[in-house]
Amino acid sequence: MNPIDSMASYLAKVIRKHNEHAGSEIALKYALSLTINTSLATIVSLLISVITNRFNEAIIGICIFLLIRYVSGGIHLSSSLACCITSILIFVTIANVPTEYTQLSVYLNIISFIILLFTAPNNIKDVSRIPQKFYPLLKIVTLVIISSNFFIKSTVFTAAFIIQAVLTMKYTYKIVSYFERRVMH
């Protein structure tokens, strides 16, 4: 068991021991693991962004990435530690892209739009409380968010969108599945 899951398991046991009305230990461990993972990834990314003098970009990048990920879904890693490390890499990458909005940024926005037009929402059925009847609306919201960057012209947004678009592609699922099988065996 990795450190994040160990901490979540320990905290879940403590909560259950001191609160008989708390949810099941399994449910608590899952929720705590998500909370620890997201908090740790965010804090480490923000600390790195202070060192690289990109704190504002990190705040904006983390927020826009989490927003676009919430409405468009995407792959989930089987290990909370791998997820945390990957999230840190994504957040730091988004925060440290060059600031000049160029023609490449426009192309990457268009590519993100096209990918998410076909893939969003993706893999949210078992991880979101949003009813399936709202999935078409989630696609529209995703595309509106991406389209907003044609006016905002933020390279931080562009980086968040293209990374998220890639995380919804079936090829990404195949690559991640391959590596997870190799690491697990």
Residue-wise pLDDT for 123-151, tens only, equals 888 777 888 899 999 999 999 999 999 99
Per-residue buried b or exposed e for 77-112, using 16+ beta carbons within 10 Å of the residue's own CB? bebbbbbbbbbbebbbebbbbeeebeeebeebbeeb
Residue range 78-136, pLDDT digits in tens: 888 889 999 999 999 999 999 899 999 999 999 999 999 999 998 888 777 888 899 99
Residue 28 domain-assigned (yes or no)? no
pTM: 0.89
Q: What is the pLDDT of residues 56-75, one digit of tens each?
A: 999 999 999 999 999 999 99
Q: Which residues of 134-152 are buried (b: 16+ CB within 10 A; e: fewer)?
A: ebeebbebbbebbeebeee
Say if 98 falls within a structural domain.
yes
Instruction: Please check whether residue 23 lies inside any domain of the structure.
Output: no
Domain limits for position 152: 53-184
Q: CA gyration radius for the chain?
A: 18
121: in domain:
yes
Q: Would 19 be classed as within a structural domain?
A: no
- Count of domains forming the chain: 1
